[in-house]
Amino acid sequence: MPTKLVILDRDGVINLDSAQFIKNPAEWKPIPGSLEAIARLTQSGYKVVVATNQSGVGRGLFDMEMLNQIHSNMHKAVVALGGRIDAIFYCPHAADSQCDCRKPKPGMLKRISETLNVELAGVPAIGDSLRDLQACAAVGCQPMLVMTGKGTKTKADNELPAGTLEFADLAAAVNHILAKEKK
């Protein structure tokens, strides 16, 4: 039985995405049902971890203090509904950097495994972009694509890793995870 852990991308999965980046707390808007879905995971005994590329930091569009404020707002919004985000891992590097933590490279997910001392085999990892799915597949997670954010375009490009499950949104993916657990 895999650890009761779910890994989520942020932009396009939990909150609305923006081609101009989410640069401050006012621009962070949850996707309807996403915060409630996180709360259901928490209440079912799951650890919820966010793994997010945040190249806006590396590009100078916002600083670490602003990123922390955005994440603080996200934490408070989830807690207000009875949920919890146990950890947030992020890559602050620009897209052209040679780091190993920017998805689709698996470095950030390996760091999650090491920090939490968990095996990631079979752990649900939910994203809306191909790079999210590639990173999670590289470490043995169960890739789950949501059609929010870039999800519809990602599906249309038809390059999904083998075994990727598809859902309308985070709430539908969580319904699947919780229903599977009851079997």
Q: How far apart are CA 115 and CA 113, in angstroms?
A: 6
Q: Is 9 a catalytic residue?
A: yes
Instruction: Name the packing angle between helices 130-138 and 107-116 (round to 10°).
Output: 50
Of 90, 106, 20, 82, the closest CA to residue 50 belongs to: 90
How far is the CA of 167 from the CAs of 90, 100, 111, 146, in angstroms?
24, 28, 27, 5
State the angle between helix axes of 64-79 and 34-43 in degrees (0 to 180), rounded to the nearest 10: 70
Catalytic residue flag (residue 17): no
Q: Which of 9, 17, 132, 169 is catalytic?
A: 9
Any idea which residues carry the catalytic annotation? 9, 11
